[in-house]
Amino acid sequence: MGPTDMFRLDGKVAFIPGGSGGIGSTLAAGVCEAGAQVAVVDRDGDGLARTCSRMREAGSQPLAIAADLTRKEDADRAVVETVDHFGRLDIVINAIGGGAGKVLFDAEDYPVPEWDWIFDLNLRTTLLATQAAVRAMIEGGQGGKVVNISSVRGQLGINAGYSAYVAAKGAIDSLTRQWATEWAKHGITVNAISPTFVDTPQVAMLLDDPDFKAAIVNRVPLGRVGETRDLLGPVLLFCSEASAFVTGQILTIDGGLTATQ
Ligand SMILES: NC(=O)c1ccc[n+]([C@@H]2O[C@H](COP(=O)([O-])OP(=O)(O)OC[C@H]3O[C@@H](n4cnc5c(N)ncnc54)[C@H](O)[C@@H]3O)[C@@H](O)[C@H]2O)c1
């Protein structure tokens, strides 16, 4: 096996919750390019259809699964459909989440309904999708790869009303280490990426404000916000044999932002 072959995913099946989102759709197309077969799972039916038709135009044959992954029965069904269709499940990339900028409140007044919404969107979806996928990996007996999407907010506070989001992403970081510890005996590695701002529809409105964008860019040593493609290399690393002896790690993808803190 040549050194770059270690990053190939031929013969592997990737299960991607949030696979038609801003980040998820780039990752779904990218792991296909690297040789994997992909189940794209999302509750947005139109986005799912658009993402999968773009992937088909590029020559891939994704399985589209409409599901709400805050619901255990949907998560379990999505995994069953994936294994029925492809015969196995090797990789889960958890790309559901976000919402941070929509619900900003002072920490002392952070309202419970918004707290629960952020936790459901970021943590419950990751929990239910991963539990279902990992049960299939354990049953398959061939190991597996879990990749979580956290955020630099899992590590850094910000003076701007983000209590629920930082808590949910901090929990994703902790679960990454906990799951890595518990599932190593099954040959399953668990790692996370932690991006700063990535140019996606979810943050487009914020980045459209030139002053806001300049303030972000000025804090980032590499002098720009992230692009979804910036996440693909690290995700391929964590999905592939190139990271065979790496587990429980959180890789920050932030143009050097946290290095300055
Ligand atoms: N965009 C950024 O700047 C940024 C920065 C750091 C971390 N992140 C993290 O990256 C991840 C993806 O973010 P994004 O910008 O691609 O968001 P996005 O909103 O574009 O994508 C999320 C996808 O998840 C789907 N989804 C939401 N709830 C669901 C549910 N209950 N069941 C099934 N599907 C559901 C949505 O339909 C959407 O397609 C999130 O965890 C986010 O916190 C994003």
101 closest CA partner among 162, 170, 164, 167: 162
Superfamily of 11-197+229-251 according to CATH: NAD(P)-binding Rossmann-like Domain (3.40.50.720)
List active site positions. Answer: 165
pLDDT above 90 (res 93): yes
C-beta of 199 in contact with ligand 1 (< 6 A): no
CA 90 to chain centre: 15
**CB distance 255 to 220 below 8 Å:** yes
The number of CA neighbours under 13 Å toward the Cβ of 40 is 32
- Residue 120 CB–ligand 1 contact under 6 Å: no
Model pLDDT, residue 228: 98
Dist. CA 19–CA 42, nearest whole Å: 6
By 3-state DSSP, what share of the chain in percent is helix, strand and coil, each rounded to 5?
55, 15, 30
Closest ligand 1 atom to 98 CA: 43
Q: Indicate the pLDDT class of residue 84, thresholds 50, 70 and 90.
A: very high
**Both structure tokens of 19:** 């696979």
Report the pLDDT averaged over residues 96-114.
96
d(CA 55, CA 211): 36
Q: Which of 76-80, 114-118, 207-211, 239-243 has the lowest mean pLDDT?
A: 207-211
- Ligand 1 atom at minimal distance to the Cα of residue 169: 43
**Residue 74 tokens, joined:** 């949907």
Q: What is the mean pLDDT of residues 17-31?
A: 98
| Ligand 1 atom closest to Cα of residue 152 | 6
**Is the pLDDT assigned to residue 1 strictly greater than 90?**
no
Which whole number is the average pLDDT over 123-146?
Answer: 98
Q: Is 22 in the pocket of ligand 1 (CB under 6 A)?
A: yes
Query: Rounded to whole angstroms, how far apart are CA atoms 96 and 104?
Result: 19
pTM of the full predicted structure?
0.98
Kindly state the percentage of the chain with pLDDT values over 70: 100
Domain limits, the chain: 11-197+229-251
103 alpha carbon to ligand 1 midpoint, in Å?
15
User: Read out DSSP for 186-248?
Assistant: GTEEEEEEEES-B-SHHHHHHHHSHHHHHHHHHH-TTSS-B-GGGGHHHHHHHHSGGGTT--S
Of the candidates 89, 172, 83, 163, the residue with the CA atom closest to the CA atom of residue 125: 172
118 lines ligand 1 (CB under 6 A): no
